[in-house]
Amino acid sequence: MAGFRRHTASGTPDLVEYDLDAIDPELRLRAVRTAASTIAESVRVEDRAERRKRRRTVSFFRKSLKRRSQKEPVPETTVASPAVGPRRQIYVNLPLPPNEVNHRGEPVIRYVRNKVRTSKYTILTFIPKNLFEQFCRVANVFFLLVAVLEIPSIFGSSSPQTAVLPLAFILVVTAIRDGIEDYRRAILDEEVNNSAATKLGQWKNVNQPTDPRNWFEKLLGLNPPDKVTKGVQKLREREASEGARIVLNKDGNASRANITVPDEHSTEPNQLMGAGEQDLEDVQRSDEHTYPPISPNRPHSEDASDDFTHWRGQFGSFAAYQQSIQSRSTLGVLDPNKRTTGMARWERTLWKKLEVGDIVLLREDEQVPADIVVLATSDPDNMSYVETKNLDGETNLKPRKAARATSSITSEDDIERIAFVLDSEPPHQNLYLYHGVLRYTDPSTGEVKRESVTINELLLRGCTLRNTSWIIGLVVFTGADTKIMLNGGSTPSKRSKIEKETNFNILANFVILFAMCLASAIANGVWDGRRGTSASFFEEGADPSSSNAVNAIVTFIACLIVFQNIVPIALYISIEIVKTIQAFFIFQDVDMYYKPFDAACTPKTWNISDDLGQIEYIFSDKTGTLTQNVMEFQKCSVNGVSYGAGITEAQRGAARRQGREDALDPEEEARQLQHLKQDMLDKMSRAFRNRFVQPEKLTLISPKLAEDLADRSSEQREHLIKFFRALAICHSVLADRPDSTHPFRLEYKAESPDEAALVAAARDVGFPFVQKTKDSIEIEVMGQAERHSRLDMIEFSSTRKRMSVIVRNPNGQIVLYCKGADSVIYQRLRPDHDPFLKEKTSKDMEEFANSGLRTLCIAYRYLTEQEYTEWQRMYDAARNSIDNRDEEMDRASEMIEHSLTILGATALEDKLQEGVPEAIEMLHNAGIKLWILTGDKVQTAIEIGFSCNLLKSDMEILILSADNLHEARLQIEGGVNKIASILGPPSLNLKTRGFVPGQQAAFAVVIDGETLQYALSPQLKQLFLNLATQCETVVCCRVSPAQKALVVKLVKEGRNAMTLSIGDGANDVAMIQEANVGCGLLGYEGSQAAMSADYAFGQFRFLTKLLIVHGRWSYQRIADMHSNFFYKNVIWTFPMFWFLIFNNFDATTLYQFTFVLLFSVVFTSLPIIVLGAFDQDINAKAALAFPQLYIRGIRGLEYTRLKFWAYMFDGFYQSIVVFFIPFLVWTVGPPTSWNGKAIESLADLGTTVAVSAIVAANTYVGMNTHYWTIVTWIVVIGSSLVMVLWVIIYSFFMSNDFVDEVVVLFGNAIFWFTVIISVVIALAPRFIVKFIRTSYFPLDKDIIREMWVKGDLKDRLGIGQSRMNEDD
C-alpha cells in the first residue's frame, strides 16, 4: 500500500482516503476521525448497502414470480432467515394432515418441553461427570495409579490403607465445591420452571400427543396425562387461598379490576372462571392498577382537582387508552356462527407444563414463559408493550402487535370459533428475525387467505408485559428451542490458564520420576546380578524373586511409590484453599460494594481468579453496561440559534488528554448549571404557567431559551413554539400519572429512552404531552390546551432512520412532523429551502456530535386534503400487502415525506455509568483492549464510543459494511493493508502483547452485524482477526447474542488470548460463558447475566480494581505458589534418590515414615498457602496508580516454563546440598553423640536431612514473600518449629526406628551446625541472584515498591505517613 492524503470536504470533515493513484481501487477504504464525520460516514455506508439490497430484492421477486405462483407462497423478508431445518406447522382447531400423524393418529413431530436446565449436572450425572472432569488433571490419574500399586505388599508400602486418603480428600472437597456452585444454578432453574402461567384448559391442542410420556414413565405409571400434578395443584390452591382467582365479568368500568374471592364451596377451585361470552378486556391483575389510584375511602369520581378536570375524562389511566375496545366483528379467522362446547376455561399452570400449540393468557407485569405469537391484545390498536430488561438490560418498552386476522379474539369461546395454521420457521438464534405465515379460510367468503407474521408479532421468553392489560398468544417455541435459550449455550466448566499449564509441569515431573525409577531399577537389577557379594549371605530371601529382571520391575514400582511426592498432590487442594480465600477478599472489598443494590462483588467461579490478572481483551455490552440507558436532552438548535449549557463526558475526556482538566472542574460546573437552571425556571414561571414542569428533571438549561419564549415581539418565539410543539406531537410515547396525589406529574413510557427524553424536555419548557387517545393527541402550549387529531404514524426503523406523525391541528390544517437523522432529513427538504438555515443547523449538529451527543433533525410540512387522502389509500394498501411489504411501505412513505422545512435539531447525551470513561482509560493504560459488542445501531454505538473516550479524534476509524462475502473481503483486506502501510506487519510475539496507548498510530474498526456474519465465515475469519487485533478498539453493531460469542471465541482461540466478557442482559450470557472470565452486572430486578457469570457486581467501574488489583495479585500469588510447590517437592524427593546410590538402589526410604506423611500436609504447605493467599508485591493504591504493571500478566511473564525449570533446578541443587553435607558429616565426623550413643542409624541421617530440607524449603518461601504480616511470620517460622516439636514429641513414643532421636541429635552441636550450614549453602545462590536482579536489573514493580517503602510515593498518592508500612 502506498501513502494517504487527507482532505476536508464540504459536509464531510476529517475524512481520510487512500491516494487513489497509488492504491489498488479494489482496496479503497474510507477512514474518519471526528464523531460527526464517523456518524456521517456510517450513514452513507448504510444507505449504499440498503440501496444495493433493495435492487437485489426487486430482482429476486421478479425472477421468482413464476416459481412462487406454482407453489404455496411464503412471504419474503429483506434479510434472509438464518433458520436451518424443516418449518413447523402449528394447527389451531384444525386436524393434522395424514402425513403428520402416525398409524395411531398421534402427531409424528414431537417438540421439546418448556422446562429448561442451565446447571451442568443432574442427580444421575453428577458423580460420573464430576469425576471425569477431575481426572482430566493428570496428577489425579497418577495418584490413583500409585494408590492401586501400593496395595500389594511386594512393593514395600508402609501403609497402603492411608495411601488413597489424600486423593480421596481432594476429590471429595472439589466435588462438594462444584456441587454447591451447580446447586445454586439448579435452584434458579427450578424457580423459573415453576413460575405460574395461564393457559386455555379443557381445549384440545392437536399438536401434542394424547399421552406425551416416554416408555419409562408409562412403565412406572408416572404423570398420567389426565391427572393434575402436585406442583400445579399447589399453585392453584395457593392462589385460590389468596383470593387471586380472576372472574371475567364485564361491568362497563374498564379501568377497574374485578377480583372475586373464591367460594369455599366451589367444586372447581382450580379453574379461572370466564367462559361463555365474558370478554377478556375485564381481565386484570389481582391488585388494582387504576391511574391515578382511587382511595378506598371515597367513591370513584372525576372531580379530584379543578385544574385536572379538563383532562380527567379523556386520560384517566393507561386502561382508559388501552381498553377502549373496538366493537367486535367477524374479521379474520373468527367464525361467529361456529358452535362451541363452552368447556374451555383459563387454567393456572406452571411454565414447564406449557407445550407448542397452547393458547396462553398474559396479564400486565407478567413474564413471557415461551416464545409466543400475539393473537389479540386489550389495546384498540392491537398493540402491546414489552420490557426486554431480562434480555438486553434495556428498560425502555418495545411495541408488539397482534396478528390482524386474530385480533378480534376477546373470550374463550372466540378461541373455539377460530381455525388456522401457523407456518413457522424452525428455531434459530437471531433475536431480531422471525418469519411465519398464518393461513386460514375466511369464514364469510370461503377464500383461503394468509398473513405474514414477523418479529413484531412475537414475544420472546423472558420479556415482561407492560402497559397492556392482557394479551392472548400462541406458543410457538418452548424450552431449549426459545431464542434466548438458543443464545445461552450450555454452562461451561472453566479452568484457569495456569491450571492448564500445570499439566505440562506435572508431565515434566512424570518424566523426571520415570527417569529416576528407571535408573534405580536398572542399577538395582545390575547390582542383584553380581555374584559373591555380602548380600547373598546377609540378605538371603530378601529379593521378591530369583529373576533379576522381575526384581528390577518390582524396584521400579517401589521407587514409583517412594518418589511419588515429586508430583505435588497437595498442590491442588492448597490452590482450592487459596482461591477460596481470594474469593472471600474480593467479596469483602468495600471499594467494589454498590450501595443502591446492596451488593458486593460476588465470585461465583472460584477457580479462575488468577485469570483476572492476564486479561488482554475485554468484550463489553453497551446498554446497561457502559450506559445507564438514561437520556438527557442537553442542547438544541432552533432556527439556527443554539441553546443549552453543560459539558459532556467526551469533552471532559478530550480535556484530560490535553491536560486541561482544571478548566472543567465538575463541582464548579454543577454549581454554575444549578444557577443557570434556577434563572431559567424563574424566567419561564414569570412568562407562563406550566403545571407539569418537573424542575429536578430539567436538563435543557438555557436562560436565553426562556427569554426568547417570553419575548412576544421576537420572531424566534414562533420558531421555538413550532419546534417544541413538534417534539410534543411527533412520537409514540404513552403518558402516565403514577401518583394520584400529584395529578400533574407526568411520566412517559417510550419505546426508546431518546423519545422519552425529547418529550420530557418539551414538557419541562412548557409544551407537555398530556395524553393520547385513539384519535387525538392532547398537549399544552405554554399553558394553553391544544388537541390535535391523530391521522397516521409512519414508524421509525433502522432502515428509514426517521419517523413521521400526521395530525390535523386545531385550525383544521393537516401537518406532517418528521424527525430523524440529519442526512435523511436533509435529503427530503424542499428545493427552495433557506440555505443559511440548512448550513447553520448542520454546523450545530456537527458540533453536538463531536461533543458526544446524539442528534436528531426536526422538520415539518403542510399537506392538502387531496394529497393526504390519495397517500392514505396507497399506504393502507402497502400496509396490507404480504409480498415485499416493507419495500411497498417504504415506497409509500417516500411519497409524502418530502418538501420538508427544518424546525431545528436536538442533542441528547446517553448518560454513562459513573466512572466509565476513567475506567476505560485505566484499562487501556494497563494494556487491555476493549471491544463493544452491541445490538444497537451503528450511529448509537459510535456516539457512545466517543462519549466514553473509547473512540478518540486521533484515531483512524474504519467502517466496514458489506452485503456479500466478496465485498466484505475487499474491505477487510483494505483495512489490513492500510494498517500494514503505517505500522508494518503484525507481530505475534508474546512479549509484545498488550498495547501502550500513544506509542503508535491508533486504529479502530466499526462493523455491522451483517458484515460481521461474513467476517466470521471460515473464508474470512482469519483475515478479520488480523485486522481487528491490530486495532485499539473494535465496535460491533447490530450483532446477535450468538455472534457475540463467536467474536469472543475467534479472539480467544485465534490469538490464544485471555478474554473477559461483561454484560447485564440475557443476550450477553453466550459471550459471558464463552470468555475465559465472564462478568455480569446486577440490575434493579436481577440479571440473567449476573446469574450466569463468574463474577457479579454492580458497576462497570469496579472492573478496574477487580483486574488491576485483585486479578494481578491473584496471578502473581498463584504463579509464585506453583513454582514454590514444585521446588519444595524436588528438594524433598531427590535426597532419597541420592541415598539409593549407597544402598544398591533397593528403594529403601531415607526418611522416617511420619516425615513422609507430614511433610506436605503440616511442615511445608502453610507457608506456601499464606504466600498464595496474602502476598502483595505492591500496595493496591500503587497498583491503581501504575496500571502499566498489569502488562506483565498479559504477556504471561510471571509464570513461564523458564521460571518453572529455574525453580526445579534450584530444588535440584539444594537437594544435593541438604543430603551430601549431612552425609559427609556423619561419614567423616565422630560416630558418637555427646551422651555416648552412636550416630550411625538411618533415622539419624534421615532426620538430619529432613530437618535441613524442611527449614530450607520454608525459608526459601519466606525469601520469595513480598508482604510480611504477623501471619506470615508465625507460619513461616512456626512451620519449622512445629517440625522440631514433632521430632521431640515422637521421640518419646515407642517405635522401631525413632526412639530417643531427640536425645541423640538435638543435644549435639554438630547436628545444629550441619543443619545451619546446609541451609545457608543451599539458599545462598538464590539470595545472591535476587539481590543482583533487584539492585542492578530491577523490574518496574521493584522500583515502585522501593518508592513505596523508602520514597515519597505514599505522599504523592495522598496516603498519610502515619499509616503503617504494610510492606516492611
* Paired residues of 1080 in beta bridges: 1063, 1096
Please say whether the dihedral angle defined by the alpha carbons of residues 760, 761, 764 and 767, taken in this order, is positive or negative: negative
Active site residues: 621
Greatest alpha-carbon span in the chain: 129
Spatial distance between the Cα atoms of 947 and 632, rounded to a whole number of angstroms: 13
Q: At what angle do helices 138-149 and 497-529 cross, to 10 degrees?
A: 30
Residue 629 has φ and ψ, to the nearest 5°, of 60, 35
With H, G, I as helix, E, B as strand and everything else as coil, classify residue 436.
strand
* Paired residues of 600 in beta bridges: none
* Paired residues of 387 in beta bridges: 397, 464
Q: Evaluate whether 730 touches 794 at the Cβ level (below 8 Å).
A: no
Q: Evaluate whether 1301 touches 1287 at the Cβ level (below 8 Å).
A: yes
Q: Among 427, 394, 433, which residue's Cα sits nearest to residue 1013? A: 433
Q: Evaluate whether 1169 touches 1160 at the Cβ level (below 8 Å).
A: no
Residue 416 one-letter amino acid:
E
With H, G, I as helix, E, B as strand and everything else as coil, classify residue 471.
strand
Q: Cβ of 1131: how many Cβ atoms within 10 Å?
A: 27
With H, G, I as helix, E, B as strand and everything else as coil, classify residue 558.
helix
Q: Is 538 exposed, middle or buried (0-12, 13-18, 19+ CB in 10 A)?
A: exposed
Where do runs of H (alpha helix) occur along 713-797?
715-729, 753-764
Write the CA distances from 982 to 977, 1000, 1001, integer angstroms: 9, 9, 8
Q: Evaluate whether 393 touches 621 at the Cβ level (below 8 Å).
A: yes
In the numeric block, which cell numbers belong to residue 1022?
482469519
* Strands 955-960 vs 31-32: parallel, antiparallel or unpaired: antiparallel
Spatial distance between the Cα atoms of 769 and 1222, rounded to a whole number of angstroms: 93
In the numeric block, which cell numbers belong to residue 94?
384444525
DSSP state for residue 107 in the 8-state scheme: B
CB within 8 A of 1007, min separation 6: which ones?
A: 959, 960, 961, 1015, 1034, 1035, 1036, 1037
Q: Evaluate whether 436 touches 422 at the Cβ level (below 8 Å).
A: yes
Please say whether the dihedral angle defined by the alpha carbons of residues 54, 57, 59 and 61, taken in this order, is positive or negative: negative
Where do runs of H (alpha helix) occur along 779-899?
822-826, 835-850, 865-880, 885-894
In the numeric block, which cell numbers belong to residue 513?
520420576
Q: Evaluate whether 433 touches 81 at the Cβ level (below 8 Å).
A: yes
* Strands 271-272 vs 1002-1008: parallel, antiparallel or unpaired: unpaired
DSSP state for residue 1226 in the 8-state scheme: H
Spatial distance between the Cα atoms of 1061 and 494, rounded to a whole number of angstroms: 14
Q: Evaluate whether 373 touches 358 at the Cβ level (below 8 Å).
A: no
* Paired residues of 908 in beta bridges: 633, 854
Q: Evaluate whether 195 touches 345 at the Cβ level (below 8 Å).
A: no
In the numeric block, which cell numbers belong to residue 366?
407478567
Alpha-carbon 49 to chain mean position: 30
